[in-house]
Amino acid sequence: MNASSPPPRNRLWRALAFIPNAVYKGGGLGGAARRAMQIFRQSGVRGVARSVRVLLRGDGPPLMADASRPDRFQYREWLKRHESPLTPQARQDLETQASRWPRKPAFALTMTAADSSLQALERAVASVRGQVYPHWRLTLVVPASLSTQARASLDSQASADGQIDVAELQSPVGASADWLAFCDARDALAPDALWRAAEAAVRNPDVALIYTDEDRIADDGQRSAPYFKPDWNIDLLRSQDYVSRLAFFSASLVSELGGLDASFGEEAAAYDLALRCAEQLAPERIVHIPKVLYHRHVASADNVHAMDPAEYAPEGGERALQAHLARSGIAATAERGVHGFRVRYALPSELPLVSLFIPTRNGLKLVRQCIESILEKTLYPRYEIILVDNGSDDPEALRYFEEIAARSGVRVLRDDSPFNYSALNNGAAAIAKGDVFGLINNDIEVISPDWLGELVSIALQPGVGAAGARLWYPEMTLQHAGVVLGYRGGVADHAHRRLGRDDPGYFGRAALMQGFSAVTAACLVVRRALYEQVGGLDEVHLKVAYNDVDFCLRLREAGYRNVWTPYAELFHHESATRPSDLSEAQIERFLGEERYMKNRWGDLLFNDPAYNPNLSLEIEDFSYAWPPRAARLPSTTTSA
């Protein structure tokens, strides 16, 4: 036996460990087998062996993986492929560009040194000193409890660099700074972080808040767990502090707001500041840089991919959020939960009537289940049901429709025209009595009694367009957690599809209220006035497909935001009555509707502001994009 070879038992365990990894990466047993055969035909036995070795090392996405299923946890490989080194020439190019700017924004960084190891502390300071952009000052805030060795190291670095100060208290806003940022001394900045923030400020003169993407950095410098964030998303900010690492705040705005409020605690103070800034700024004055420019310390050495919810929902943050809601004149309560914050919006004392539209053709079992679950389980008291019967001919279904039409609060609207989902809902809207509309599929089943109250409370908020629910397949995997535009080169699809019940999703985004570009009309609530303002669903161009996406995008175009909530939960027995094959005419109709959406909405379909260009459009699980759709830029790698 070769001395460098593992003993037989270890080799056996490694082989056994390989099997589930290969099956996962291959998309199941069949997918793994097909991919292995494809590799064999292309590269022979050596190609298969190379793929096995890659799987055993944990690198990826390996050759064994289906190209449409890159492993989202293979971040090191992603960095090697898609982040170019910041060479001396690249640094010089950035410096040359900055020298031509009409103004040179100045940055004041505050770094809190509490609870930092000496190694991490020195790395953090070095990451600032190594910035490509030179116009900065760093204040190191050190507690009296800091070790003598660490304090000596900081004093030494301050003595060696006139841009560094050491203080025991948070200093007021510096008169010479244009921008402020607050960092943790366990973390590190990418070397071009300030350059990119300065470039964004120069390019957008009215900007007052800039934030970036982030990842994790271990003691050995290895990076993991990137958080590729959405563009400005006030509803997500009310669910987690996704902004303040790394955020740059306009110094003049911070001064107007009175600076940090220490009463919320060290971590929640930055969250409070982000909320106060948001209250003063129009969305176009907030810029997101979709690049990893900040490296947080690893939360758990045992799991470098772990997200610590406390870091994004810091203790005291619920008080900051409650104060924000009060200042904004929003009647709501803020709570801190397992995955983040929850805002419970209050319903008005006089509840609006909600008109629920349920189109169907026959489908007795499903539509009965839908209607009875609404009637039996819904706590919200003021609603009417309008069942739109699109040419049903099943005698049992017709008897049931006649029976329910006799009930208080239920009406049946007969429409024998060819199936046109948009027209059916618009027809119901024309006879509806409610001030709020609810679009409901006939295969929906209520499972959370407060579902309607939750959706109505959100839809009534100023600035909100459509409100969408969390929908589950009957086996309790996720069916709808918001709609992401551009999936698989098409128009849109559902985020986090097939996620397990106990999985909060990518950085908690399957378990937190947030804004999306669209939500599904399988369960959608919107104010009547807004439905009529944008002309309802498009019954001319989008008779069957994508009418809900288009409707939400028109609401967005009109200045409203669409909100998804995980706290309104229903089953969606999707496809239960849908034919398994489509006629040539149906296929042509679908392709025509897809073409219409692409012509109507253009590049927006592939630049979803609620998503990120570094995330995949090939699969709905927030995997990485291989390659990212953002322009390839010099590296943001930090040396350990």
Q: What is the pLDDT of residues 166-205, one digit of tens each?
A: 987 665 555 589 999 999 999 999 999 999 999 999 999 9
Average pLDDT of span 543-557: 97
* Gap between the terminal Cα atoms of the chain: 38
Q: What is the pLDDT of residue 125?
A: 94
pLDDT single digits (tens) 567-605: 999 999 975 444 545 688 889 999 999 999 999 999 999
Which region among 311-315, 374-378, 539-543, 550-554 has the lowest average model confidence (pLDDT)? 311-315
Q: What is the pLDDT of residues 495-530, one digit of tens each?
A: 999 999 999 999 999 999 999 999 999 999 999 999
Q: What is the band of 118 on the pLDDT scale with cuts at 50, 70, 90?
A: confident
Q: Tell me which of 3-17, 24-38, 76-90, 245-259 is least confident.
A: 3-17
Neighbours of 438 (CB within 10 A): 29
- What is the pLDDT at residue 30? 55
Residue 65 vs residues 3, 55, 70, 224: alpha-carbon distances, Å? 32, 9, 7, 20
Alpha carbons within 13 A on the beta-carbon side of 395: 0
Q: Is residue 109 scored above 90 in pLDDT?
A: yes
Indicate the residue type of 567.
Y
**Full DSSP string of 214-244:** EEEE-TTS-EEEEE---S--HHHHTT---SS
Beta strands in 390-472 (DSSP E): 410-414, 436-440, 444-446, 464-472
Q: Residues near 437 by Cβ (< 8 Å), separated by ≥ 6?
A: 354, 355, 357, 429, 525, 526, 527, 528, 531
The DSSP result for 314-356, as a single string, is -TTHHHHHHHHHHHTT--EEEEE-SSSEEEEEPPPSSPPPEEE
Residue 474 Ramachandran class (φ > 0 left, ψ -120 to 50 alpha, else beta): alpha
Return the beta strands (E) in 142-208 as ranges: 164-167, 179-184, 188-189
Q: Pick the most confident of 137-151, 263-277, 431-445.
A: 431-445
Name the average pLDDT for the chain.
87
Q: What is the pLDDT of residue 142?
A: 86
> Does pLDDT of 71 surpass 80?
no
pLDDT greater than 60 at residue 77: yes
What's residue 13's pLDDT? 44
- Least confident segment among 105-119, 210-224, 235-249, 325-339: 105-119
Helix (H, G, I), strand (E, B) or coil at 376: helix
In our burial notation (b when 16+ CB lie closer than 10 A, e otherwise), range 318-332 reads bbbbbbbbeeeeeeb
Distance CA 95, CA 107 (A): 16
H helix or E strand, kind and range, residue 112: strand 107-112
Q: What is the mean pLDDT of residues 380-408?
A: 97
Give pLDDT, residue 405. Answer: 96
d(CA 259, CA 182): 12
Instruction: Characterize the bridge pairing of strands 483-485 and 492-494.
Output: antiparallel
Read off the pLDDT band of 160 (50, 70, 90): confident
Structural contact between residues 217 and 639, judged by C-beta atoms closer than 8 angstroms: no
Cβ neighbors of 146 (< 8 A, separation 6 or more) are 113, 114, 154
Q: Give residue 637's pLDDT.
A: 44
**Cα–Cα nearest to 500, from 520, 519, 483, 475:** 475
Q: Is the pLDDT of residue 227 over 60?
A: yes
CA dihedral 580, 584, 586, 590 (to 10 degrees): 110
Whether the CB-CB separation of 354 and 380 falls below 8 Å is answered with: yes
Taking only the tens place, the pLDDT of each residue in 24-45 is 444 445 555 665 665 566 556 7
pLDDT at 146 over 70: yes
At 488 the pLDDT is 80
Q: What CA–CA distance (Å, rounded) separates 111 from 478?
A: 41
Q: Positive or negative, the Cα torsion across 439, 472, 589, 579?
A: negative
DSSP codes joined into one string, 475-496: TSBEEES-EEETGGGSSEEETT
User: How high is the pLDDT of residue 176?
Assistant: 82
Tens of pLDDT, residues 431-486 = 999 999 999 999 999 999 999 999 999 999 999 999 999 999 999 999 999 999 99
Q: So what's the pLDDT on residue 171?
A: 57
Residues 395-414, mean pLDDT to the nearest whole number: 97
The pLDDT, as a whole number, for residue 635 is 46
Dig out the tokens for 127 from the structure: 């990451």
Q: Is the pTM of this model over 0.75?
A: yes
Residue 413 phi, psi (nearest 5): -110, 115
Percentage of the chain lying above the pLDDT 70 cut = 83
Q: What residue type is assigned to position 558 of the chain?
A: A
Greatest Cα pair distance, the chain, in angstroms, is: 89
pLDDT band for 549, please (50, 70, 90 cuts): very high
pLDDT at position 228: 96
Instruction: Kindly give the pairing relationship between strand 107-112 and strand 136-141.
Output: parallel
Cis peptide before 627 (omega within 30 of 0): yes
Per-residue HEC secondary structure of 262-295 comes to HHHCHHHHHHHHHHHHHHHCCHHHEEEEEEEEEE
Q: Are 512 and 339 in contact (CB under 8 A)?
A: yes
Q: Which two tokens stand for residue 440?
A: 């409901």
Residues near 477 by beta carbon (within 8 Å), at least 6 away in sequence: 498, 499, 500, 501
Q: Quick one: pLDDT at residue 60?
A: 42
For residue 66, pLDDT beyond 80: no
Q: What is the pLDDT of residue 531?
A: 98
